[in-house]
A and B are shown apart, each in its own frame.
Chain A
Amino acid sequence: MGAALKLMRREPAVPIAGCTDVYVSLNFGTLAAARFLDLSQLAPLRRITVRGDTLVIGATATYTSIIRSAHVRRRLPMLVAAAREIGGPQIQNRGTLGGNIANGSPAGDSPPVLAAAEAVVVLASADGDRRVPFADYYTGYRASVKRADELIVAVEVPPVEGAQWFRKVGTRAAQAISKIVMAGVRSAAPRLALGSVAPTVVRLPRTEAALAAGAPIAEAQRVLGDEIRPIDDIRSTSAYRRRVAANLLARFWADTA
């Protein structure tokens, strides 16, 4: 691990693990990089453990290991739900949580879960570790606070109070990019995060406040409509995303009542 960080400090390379995103770009000629740092052999990065009451998921834990982990199933079942819907078995056997975060696609399936869980991203460099709350991690479309010499090494998830809920709406039943993806936590202070409706994953503070204040669901849906700015793209339309987001909000609320 230390050697890896020294390498990154000396001359940053593209970190690779499961290779389900960045490697595709390389093979299609749209990635100019020539130096890669293979993290897949670093065993500590793969581990899923509990420290105190914090769930710690290593950056190169695969979706398959997340699905099978008793820790994750108990503490963050909405991440298991998300992992089951990413790609298909081959992708789940290789793709990693760290890779999903680093890829930074606004349609990513794990970021809404991590946002709703108020997870913390652990970044390491030759100078040591720093922890970034998930809400502060992304700064814009595929942009984050991670420096070129840093590696994502883990995601730390504090205990999540309340019922967890996850729904992905893709272009088909498997191997699909999301058109809209939602994670929610129901408690006295409900949390709501959405993917594919903005350049990054977003929490919805005004909608959350409306729900917390006991507003009727129709009112919360109206606030939601104001709070998101979905677009038309090759997979879906703004109108569809807007309407379905509102429907999913109602479904989340009814399911977790």
Chain B
Amino acid sequence: MGVVGVSVPRIDGFAKVTGRARYVDDVAFPGMLWGRTIRATIPRGRVTGVALPADLAGFTVVDHRDIPGANAIRHIEHDQPCLVEREVRHQGEAVVLLAHQDRERLLAADVRLAYEREEPLLDPLDSTIVHKRILIEKGNLAKGFAKAAHVLEGEYRTGHQEHIYIETNGVIAVPEDDGGVSVHGSFQCPYYVHEALKHLLGLPGELVRVLQTEPGGGFGGKEEFPSMIAGHAALLARKARRPVKIVYDRAEDMWATTKRHPSIVRHRTGVAADGRLVAMDVEVILDGGAYVTLSPVVLSRGCIHAAGPYRCPNIRIDGRAVFTNTNPNGAFRGFGAPQTEFAVEAHLDRIAEAIGMDPVKLRLRNALRPGDTTATGQTLGADCSAVAVLREAVRRSGYTRKRRAWRGGNRGIGLALFYHGSGFTGAGEVRLQSRCSLATTARGVEILVASTEIGQGTRTMHAQIVADALGVPFDQVEVAVPDTARVPNSGPTVASRTCMVVGRILQRCAESLRTRLGALSPAEHFARHGRTVVTEQYEPPPGVHWDEDHYTGDAYATYGWACDVAEVVYDPDTYEVKTTAMTVVHEFGRPIHPVMARGQIEGGTAQGVGFALLEHVVMKDGGMANAQLTNYTIPTTLDAPRMDTVMLENLYEHGPFGAKGVGELPMDGPAPAIVNAMRHLGLDVREVPALPEVVMRAVERRAAAAPGSAA
């Protein structure tokens, strides 16, 4: 009797419900100092002076001159400094670091920066500095438009979104006697931090150790950003020769860390008389902020998904991520796809309206099916479930009946069909060369991976896969704390890969180990032969070919598929739109742990509702002006809709026990489903967050267009 497919009690559940789980702020080291970051408050210019307090007794002060290696936080490019030398490119850029044993003295220290201000570039549409450009072309656009009976254009916008993990970013750096450093913190990717610190501190890999404390949420906000805060803590610790803890308060975390890339997506679409999409011309513009960081990869995923889950013979997607004097935007669950799939799904309902076709029928006509090719020319196989999720969501929600019955009233219903590639794009997984290990122990086996538990259930899910692949009881499987001194690099905890990619490598580890064990149990083998470690490396599934130069081929090994139906209620006095219910149908292979998988879907859906209606980053002079939880509002229990979640199965051949990825898929659907529900109410909204102020403008436009009708 196996545990895969069974909702076993979470391995970390007991520690978390009793308050015993140790998050970084719960951890202390003897002699530890507190650290603080002094940041630029202008969006562009030069630092001309740093005025420190007169009495610096007990203070450690670090600036760029204290960096032993390269003053750069390495991501794809090396353009982002760890500490400002003179040039400031965004509000919040770190200039000086302080540490002190007394937290109150540290916070009371008055440090003044003097600047020469320059005019900042804040509008991405004005920016000519391109971090990355991507072009995807399929077929012949001109020929396609020639066949079109209708052509519809539209521009769609999404704003910044802030992660609001309940635990803010934090790290403790401990200087080691051998001249190295250990860093403990809230990370999604310990090896990213490891790599960044090596170069920043000029240290060989063996002298840098990165360990994860229990993270209180990540959502991408602890993917690349921690390299920066870890670098800061390590510099202070090195200079002070004492452990240094930096934990951001909520306001600093909101103001100074990464956010979701705002987007402007323009569609020009040719549709045949029978509703078939014959030409899709898409322009994608992402605001990357002041440094390149991860913008190229966000743009990549965004562009690949920009034509939606539809078959169309002629597609052109022209995307660019551009520079502005704002905080660099970064990874956030969905990673470009929520932005571009919002645009295409909102656009599709406008097409349906324009040609007088039912939105479901339009999607059925155009949805990808096995044998069809995507925008990059990838031929889909039996693992494509677009039609199945659409049909089930429509049936289960009563969409068609409600669409008719609610017309003209204050209730609306809308849907979105969407998909999400699992794992890294293209050759990314091959480049990562992820490795996992399995070791025998006195109790059974220990999983050694760098994949982190950020709440999604990594430890438990990996243990379930190993237990069944090895044929041992679940409680014989332990999971090692991600510690770069002990675990191999299984890659970052991102891109919906932790189950499908890393889990699959673990499955192969278990199968190898099973052969080695013979008739013995792991514990018996350990007793007889000592600790045995089996390591396996990523192997791409057969038949996956990607051409990075032409951006064609198999962008992802497989995709998850989903359809959301949103029911909303509208208040004509206040222009507030509230989501009362969502029907959420997802296909992601199969759930390894149904309860935890459902948790991912529901949590991601709630974040999508926030993205659609509530979460507004107010930018002033290039910085977030509403960096308080009072003023940046995520959904409470009274804002989140009731959710009816359905998990359809379609076993994926190359995933562990048939599983694909699920972490990000839920994020792509709620915003367009809700905006399409607004359209059902007669409100033409093309941006999110669709705040009441935005809806009011749509109502005014409607009244102006049809004088005499009620506003």
Contacts and interface: CB of A to CB of B under 8 A. Distances in A.
Q: Do chains A and B touch in the complex (CB under 8 A)?
A: yes
A69 to B, nearest CB: 24
Contact of A175 (B618, B636, B696): B636
Interface string B614-648: 10001000000110001101011111000000000
Among B107, B578, B635, B638, which residue has the most Cβ atoms of chain A within 10 A? B638
Interface stretch (A41-49, A124-132, A137-145, A235-243): A235-243
B573 interface: yes
Contacts of B578: 173
A84 to B, nearest CB: 11
B633 A171 contact: yes
B573 A234 contact: no
A174 B639 contact: yes
A172 B616 CA distance: 12
Contacts of B574: 169, 244, 247-248
A52 interface: no
A29 B103 CA distance: 13
Contacts of A169: 574, 576, 692
The majority secondary structure among interface residues of chain B is: loop
Interface of A: 28-29, 88, 169, 171-177, 234-237, 239-240, 243-244, 247-248, 250-251
B264 to A, nearest CB: 22
Contact of B107 (A29, A88, A235, A243): A29
Contacts of B576: 169
Nearest to A173: B638
B525 to A, nearest CB: 53
B641 to A, nearest CB: 11
Contacts of A235: 626, 631
A240 B638 contact: no
A177 B573 contact: no
B575 A171 contact: no
Given A29-B107, A174-B636, A234-B626, A247 B572 contact: yes
Interface in B485-532: none
Given A169-B576, A174-B638, 8 more contacts: A28-B251, A171-B614, A172-B633, A172-B636, A173-B578, A240-B693, A244-B573, A248-B573
B692 A173 contact: no
Contact of B631 (A28, A171, A239): A171
Nearest to B638: A173
Please name the 6 residue pairs, one residue from A and one from B, whose CB atoms are nearest each other, closest first. Answer: A173-B638, A247-B573, A172-B633, A234-B626, A174-B636, A240-B693
A12 B575 CA distance: 46
Contacts of B573: 244, 247-248, 250-251
Contact of B635 (A172, A244, A248): A172
A234 B696 contact: no
Contact of B636 (A173, A237, A239, A244): A173
A16 B423 CA distance: 54
Q: For chain B, give the interface size range.
A: 20 to 34
Nearest to A88: B636
A227 to B, nearest CB: 19
A135 B638 CA distance: 34
A240 B696 contact: yes
A174 B633 CA distance: 10
Contact of B637 (A174, A237, A251): A174
B631 A244 contact: no
A239 B691 CA distance: 13
Contacts of B575: 240, 244
Contacts, number: 57
Contacts of A234: 618, 625-626, 631
Contacts of A247: 572-574
A234 B639 CA distance: 20
8 contacts: A174-B638, A176-B633, A177-B631, A236-B693, A237-B693, A239-B693, A240-B693, A244-B574
Nearest to A251: B573
Contacts of A171: 614, 631, 633
A234 B625 CA distance: 7
A251 B181 CA distance: 64
B494 to A, nearest CB: 29
Nearest to A172: B633
Nearest to B251: A28
Contacts of A173: 578, 636, 638-639
Contacts of B692: 169, 240, 244
B121 to A, nearest CB: 23
B696 A172 contact: no
Contacts of B618: 234
A137 B594 CA distance: 59
A171 B574 CA distance: 11
B581 to A, nearest CB: 15
A94 B302 CA distance: 46
A174 B578 CA distance: 13
Contacts of B693: 236-237, 239-240
Contacts of B635: 172
A80 B113 CA distance: 49
Nearest to A27: B249
B614 A172 contact: yes
Interface in B256-303: none
A142 B450 CA distance: 53
Contacts of A248: 573-574
B2 to A, nearest CB: 43
A110 B578 CA distance: 25
A11 B638 CA distance: 45
Nearest to B695: A240
B402 to A, nearest CB: 23
Nearest to B107: A29
A173 B693 CA distance: 16
A254 to B, nearest CB: 10
A244 B635 CA distance: 22
A237 B618 CA distance: 12
B598 to A, nearest CB: 24
Among B107, B626, B635, B692, which residue has the most Cβ atoms of chain A within 10 A? B692
A234 to B, nearest CB: 5
B610 to A, nearest CB: 9
A239 B575 CA distance: 13
Interface in B577-617: 578, 614
A248 to B, nearest CB: 6
B309 to A, nearest CB: 31
A173 B579 CA distance: 11
A88 B614 CA distance: 18
A236 B614 CA distance: 12
B578 to A, nearest CB: 7
Nearest to A243: B696
B433 to A, nearest CB: 45
Contacts of B108: 29
A177 B630 contact: yes
A172 B576 CA distance: 9
Contacts of A174: 636-639
A29 B618 CA distance: 23
A250 B639 CA distance: 26
A236 B692 CA distance: 9
A172 B692 CA distance: 10
Among A29, A240, A250, which residue has the most Cβ atoms of chain B within 10 A? A240
A173 B576 CA distance: 10
Nearest to A250: B573
Interface string B548-570: 00000000000000000000000
Contacts of B107: 29
Contacts of A236: 693
A68 to B, nearest CB: 20
B427 to A, nearest CB: 43
Interface string B95-108: 00000000000011
